[in-house]
Amino acid sequence: MEPARDRAPDGPLPTRIVDAHHHLWDLGRFPYPWLAPEAPPRPFGNHDAIKRDFLIPDYLRHFDGLPLVASVHVQANCGAADPGDETAWLAELSRDSGWPAAAVGEIDLCSGTAAEVLAAHARHPLARGVRAMVAHDRTGRWRFSDRPQVMGEPGFLDNAARLMEMGFSLDLVIVPEQLPEVARLAAALPKLAIIVDHLATPEPETWSQWTSGIEAVRRFDNVAMKLSGLWTIDKPWRPDRLRPFVRHALRQLGGDRLMYGSNAPIDPLHCPVADQVRTLACLVTETHPQDLDAVFGDTASRLYRLARPAG
């Protein structure tokens, strides 16, 4: 049973929201092995409730009553033989409904076919970048990559440089101990926009590694981070548990390098989107009220190159 969630104090809320990180899936279109009926629980817990189609109407219901103006879809491990097929599908959805506004595609930057995959994504104006799942920790708890130090491999660096030439950004899924690697990547490719998903997947027990890692990347203006996937700190997003992490990120990086992402429909299994927004807005305005608009919209709009809606 989940612990009771402390309600964030009421306070200023954003007047517009760009959701910088969410997923959609159509189980009849792609395999999604991790969403199969027999798929075991994920690190965030039992996910039987989301082993079903999750489409635009389902997504928008999470934002009922909130000023959502745009969203960024991030690849959902769909299992397609050609990752570009997911981007093509999202482009079709966007043409029909206006959602999402941008897409971040799947890529293995160490693969010999990375150039072809990038070309497939780039055929769609909706594409703004790609995501590399390179998390690899010493304990074996987080192993999305089969080996450590991939961000320093020649093939990875060559393909990351190709991203920079295309104007694409690079989302990364990493763990705190890999933040110094991100700093080295940022130094090697200073014109590449690097976006670290889920605040680098910190957990209470990795606080020391995470804080030192944040200090390693703070010198590089081409590195930004998402305030998303915060279930790794505390599944129900209780303000007192998140506060040290949010404050440290704001102090070190500033609002122009941080952006909110709902991680729907995953984080809403434990914390509804409305509570995410209320909690995060409260934590930001406690110490950095001037950064509220950046965190909830401006940073994502700039880095994912979204036109700001009128009004």
In a domain, residue 267? The reply is: yes
- Distance, in Å, from the CA atom of 287 to the CA atom of 309, rounded to the nearest integer, reads 28
In a domain, residue 287? The reply is yes
What is the dihedral angle through the alpha carbons of 238, 258, 256, 310, rounded to the nearest 10 degrees?
-90
Beta-bridge mates of residue 260: 227
Is 14 within a domain?
Answer: no
What would the two tokens of residue 283 be? Answer: 């934590």
CB 110 within 8 A of CB 177: no
Q: Give the mean pLDDT per block of 10 residues along the chain (311 residues).
A: 57 93 98 97 94 98 98 98 97 98 97 96 97 92 89 97 96 98 98 98 97 98 98 97 98 98 98 97 96 98 79 34
Domain coverage including residue 120: 19-303
**220 occurs within a structural domain:** yes
Cα separation of 187 and 220, whole Å?
Answer: 7
9 falls within a domain: no
SS3 226: strand
pLDDT at position 12 is: 85
pLDDT of residue 5: 55
**What pLDDT score does 168 carry?**
98
Residue 310 lies in a domain: no
Write the burial class of residue 58 (CB in 10 Å: 0-12 exposed, 13-18 middle, 19+ buried): middle
pTM of the model: 0.95
Give how many domains the chain has, as a whole number.
Answer: 1
Tell me, what CATH number does 269's domain have? 3.20.20.140
Any domain includes 10: no
Q: In the prediction, which pLDDT does 311 show?
A: 34
Q: Are 234 and 241 in contact (CB under 8 A)?
A: yes
Look at residue 28 and tell me if it is in a domain.
Answer: yes
